[in-house]
Structure 1
């Protein structure tokens, strides 16, 4: 059971309840992490959702975004987010096998994806400090300057949810990562 209480999602008519209604309308249900964040910091959840909207309108593919979030979650040891981004990764077409290779730090056979995995894993290990060689490698893989901004934003929002879920010990409501 999660540490922070969550009100009855259907009975909440305040700012949190409005967020719950928007999320239910968009995806059909409210994931436990969103429910807990909104219950205690609706403005924080609005910021995360706004960042995700910015990312969705960017030029990174859905699979790249989920791969980035999965790598960061794995590095942080956030079981909730690993399960969530593994599941969401399959929904955008990434196979279970590739997701497992990404989590295990093994090559996937796709040079561009592997360059992204290497780059994001390096960011996670070094708190964002990279060498000129790391920068040149991600650029050589075809990632634009705008996509580096998007990678940074995906990194930042994922760190927030990872830390929150670790504090809350959020009950996992996604299928376990295979």
Structure 2
């Protein structure tokens, strides 16, 4: 297997060095997976613009999607990062484990969201009528569904990058959980 080292600031383009500096100021460090994107001279900037684009989804809703997609795709890096970020956005450990299992017992909207995001991920965009009906009945719109698909795509990019590179996880490692099945 090809070994991927985490590029240092000195090993990336000047544009990526500036992004590293900005991440350092904003987050306090450059997450290893972001540094890995910097193997490309252009991908880190493009990805961050995509990730930070306007959306109808709240931060908590984005974390619902990030957690289930990362669980389905078996990405330990993203599960670890989004367990930490999920807690920062108000989810408890128990709620995070529920979301990773594909349900949410105390909020109908989050339950419908996690189920539709899981179905999109597992079935490559195909979602059964009952799951979609439940999603819309929970108060979501067709426009929000498009934003969910974009959020799934965002997380798939990072999941695949880590699953391919297996770079070190620089967040507290998420608790093990069975991989989500169809």
Same-fold call, TM > 0.5?
yes
Shift of 1:26: 1.9
Matched residue, 1:152: 149
Paired residues for 1:1-178 under 5 Å: 3-9=3-9, 14-38=14-38, 40-54=39-53, 57-178=54-175
Larger relative contact order (Cα-Cα within 8 Å, sequence gap ≥ 6): 1
Instruction: Tell me if structure 1 keeps the 8 A contact 2:72–2:122.
Output: yes
Shift of 1:124: 1.4
Deviation track 1:111-170 (CA, whole Å, cap 9, x = no partner) reads 111111111111111111013333222111111222112111110011111111011102
| Superposition misfits of 4+ residues, deviation over 6 angstroms | none
Q: 1:143 to 1:8 in 2, by over 3 A?
A: same
Structure 2: tracts of 5 or more residues without a match: 176-182
SS at structure 1 position matched to 2:20? helix
Q: 1:10 to 1:171 in 2, by over 3 A?
A: same
How many residue pairs match? The answer is 174
Give distance in 2, aligned partners of 1:90 and 1:10.
33
Alpha-carbon RMSD across the aligned residues, in angstroms, is 1.8
Deviation track 1:56-106 (CA, whole Å, cap 9, x = no partner) reads x32211111011011000000010011011111011111111001111234
SS at structure 2 position matched to 1:112? helix
Greater fraction helix? 1
Shift of 1:12: 5.3
Instruction: Tell me if structure 1 keeps the 8 A contact 2:8–2:35.
Output: no
Give distance in 1, aligned partners of 2:7 and 2:123.
38
